[in-house]
Amino acid sequence: MIRTFAQKEVEDLAEYGSIPIINGLTDYCHPCQVLADLMTIREYKKSFDGLKFCFIGDGNNMANSLIVGAISMGMECAIACPKDYQPDAKIMAWAKENGTFTCSEDILACAKDADVVYTDVWASMGQEEEKAEREKIFKNYQINDEVMAAAKPDAMVLHCLPAHREEEITAKVFEAYANEIFDEAENRLHAQKAVLVKLLG
């Protein structure tokens, strides 16, 4: 298991190592988190069929992995982010070839009829010096009452945590969907156990 900033470190370990390597997080992707996210969606929605997945915020490592996860499970995937902060171009091209995918700056269009609404912090690990600038850029990219009104009435909200209330998500929305978000956090444990069982079994 490795958590690191550099994706190349994980790839090098996988290439030269003699045992399975688990990507716990890099600057490029966060697959272990997305396994827990998908597990939580399955628990609440019972099936991925016909679901629309919406991500609002920075097109970062979480967005990259969520796109792969959503499209792989057959969900429609919509991303709303500033044009200079889009997810990886290769991942977006793959998503368009393999499913229904959109990426734009239109937050409400992204959230329209969504079954799952997801966000992440505006400034990730290692971006602390950019925090003030990012707050200006992402100030409208927030899950709030207006966004949830655009989503389906039974939509769920997920966040990989820790959340910065009144930034990427309002305190009101966070509290309204706290059960789902904390179930998601618990499922990190169970998803990682499943990875270990798969690799060691």
As annotated, the active-site residues are 3, 30, 33, 120, 160, 188
Residue type at 193 in one-letter notation: K
Q: What is the DSSP letter of 46?
A: S
Sign of the Cα pseudo-torsion (110, 115, 121, 123, in order): negative
User: What's the token pair of residue 196?
Assistant: 């270990």
Residue 23: half-sphere exposure toward Cβ, Cα within 13 Å: 22
Rounded CA-CA distance 34/63 in Å is 10
Is the CB of residue 105 less than 8 Å from the CB of residue 56? no
Rounded CA-CA distance 170/175 in Å is 9
User: What's the token pair of residue 83?
Assistant: 């044009």
| CA distances in angstroms from 102 to 32, 47, 62, 133, listed in the order given | 24, 22, 16, 26
